[in-house]
Structure 1
Amino acid sequence: MSTTQVRPTNTQAFFVQAALSFGVSAAAVATGVAFLPVDPWMRAFLALGLLYVITSAFTLAKCVRDRQEESTVHGRVDQARLDKLLAEHDPFKTETS
């Protein structure tokens, strides 16, 4: 019996669409902030907020990806193997020749 690992994958087109969507929306908001008719300090404050939103978006995407990987059978098997290795590991064991 062969073991075939089935892992859900996204197509290259989906990845490109997601990247372009994020890039276009970030550029649109950045352009909007740049051309607001307000004082420079207000514009800088909004730009700082934009950087926070972009960083948060990447963090959220990573968390969603990690949660999805943990829920797969492959991820659970890898975690079980790691747990077994850590349980069997003795850091004070010395090898003598």
Structure 2
Amino acid sequence: MSTVPATKSTAAYFAQSGIAFATALGSLIIGVAVLPVDGWIRAFLAVSGLFLVTSTFTLAKCVRDAQENAGLSSRLDQARVDRILAEHDPFKDLNNVA
């Protein structure tokens, strides 16, 4: 029976992802804050940026959940095949013929 090893992110990858997210969000906030436009335009850009961040988290969660579900159904299918093969006796029909 072949098992798929669980993938786990390293601490360095997690830190790099956090730093990249903080840098991008900080750049967006600074860019909106110093933009030479009226307050309404600045507020619209800030709300749009906030919506982009929250929708990104939602999309990432949906992708992760879909991958976990695909892995679970694949393991269930493999377990069913393994059970069928374990219960199958290839010599069962040959014993009845003789």
- What TM-score, normalized by structure 1, do the two folds share? 0.68
Equivalent residue, structure 1, for 2:60:
61
Deviations 1:36-89 (A, max 9, x none): 0001111011101011001011011111111121121xx2257xxxxxxxxxxx
- What TM-score, normalized by structure 2, do the two folds share? 0.67
Cα displacement (A) at 1:6: 2.4
Q: Across the two proteins, how many residue pairs are aligned to each other? A: 75
Larger Rg: 2
Amino acid at match of 1:28: S
Q: Which runs of 5+ in 1 are unaligned?
A: 79-97
Q: How does 1:1-97 map to 2 (within 5 A)?
A: 6-72=5-71, 75-76=72-73, 77=75
Identity fraction in percent: 46
Cα displacement (A) at 1:8: 1.3
Amino acid at match of 2:64: R
Deviations 1:5-35 (A, max 9, x none): 7211111111111111111101101110010
Amino acid at match of 2:28: V
Amino acid at match of 1:59: T
2: distance between equivalents of 1:21 and 1:68? 24
